[in-house]
Structure 1
């Protein structure tokens, strides 16, 4: 299993997947995207992966399985089959089962559109606006059994303007997502990290 081999799991437009693949092609992100899994057959992420020449691009249909655990077990077997060291969630809208998280503990990465631990969950951008925060942003974190609760790898901050809507704020957050996701993957494979309590300690120099 190569330390640079990653799988990307996606559900929708695949914008973060495309940014990662573009960074790989440009030589800015030294990972090998060897597998892309989507849970929706019409996910644009599948087309993005095929056009980019990803070797294994798979639609796994949840309707073919009796429950979340069975679906996740099929995905997990694919990840092991293709020797993926890291599992990168990119707009993946399914909550992972505890068994899946335990199987790949410390190896599942997600990006979330808020400064965690504030505003976890699917409506993070809307919740931030309703709360009246003056800054928001995004967080790259490890995945554990708590929704958006894993140890934090990287964060970026954006201002919140008085006339922001959900769409304008989300667009500003996505600009930062597209910077820090591939940058964090690069740092993971080049430097590595350890975890002390909840703190991620990077092995390289600051």
Structure 2
């Protein structure tokens, strides 16, 4: 069984799509741990409801030691780490130990509207400010940079003339809920090949 850990910072809607994918047999995986960097998140409640082991390591408490603490829990225990709306930046040994085994979902078509400070509603505000006609979401591997890892999957979303950041965010989230389980499925079935920056998918 392919084992994953899901890292969250909020409501966990992307986590829920993974849980649903497992329960309807679309994903042949098990979620071993859900870890949040904030106390009181609804995502943790979702995990508990499905009897998934949870940890809360608050960023304000652990600071620069946060990534090391997560590595301590996950090292040797899971095949893949999934960042599903996780807002802290992973650093140091965990990136090396889990090279090409950490994925993140970002609410834009990387390399647009990504990098430091680009998360949540801010991404959609920037997309509208710039006037793009197409935006979307990206699932990518995590490396030492911020949103700089190799791209696995992208889904496009048309921008409407009357869009607000909130309406755009909702439509992009619909595609996130498709892209993240799809990436997990491809990786778990060993259909993803890494060639330097390029990702080749054997469908």
With the length of structure 2 as denominator, give the TM-score of the two structures. 0.93
Give 1:57's aligned residue: 54
**Corresponding pairs, count:** 198
Is there any run of 5+ residues in structure 2 with no aligned partner, and where?
none
1:26 to 24, 27, 40: 24
Give 2:127's aligned residue: 128
Matches within 5 A, 1:39-188: 39-54=37-52, 56-65=53-62, 67-68=63-64, 70-80=65-75, 83-120=77-114, 121-122=118-119, 123-188=122-187
Distance 1:98 1:118 in 2: 25
3-state SS of the aligned residue for 2:99? coil
3-state SS of the aligned residue for 2:75? helix
3-state SS of the aligned residue for 1:32? strand
> How much has 1:63 moved relative to structure 2?
3.9
> How much has 1:96 moved relative to structure 2?
1.4
Deviation digits for residues 46-88 of structure 1 (CA, Å, limit 9, x no counterpart): 000010121x1111233443x31x221111110126x111000
Deviation digits for residues 72-116 of structure 1 (CA, Å, limit 9, x no counterpart): 1111110126x1110000110111113332221111100000011
User: More displaced, 141-150 or 190-199?
Assistant: 190-199
Aligned Cα root-mean-square deviation (Å): 1.3
Distance 2:87 2:187 in 1: 24
3-state SS of the aligned residue for 2:149? coil
Distance 2:94 2:123 in 1: 24
> How much has 1:132 moved relative to structure 2?
0.1
Poorly superposed stretches of 4+, deviation over 4 Å: none
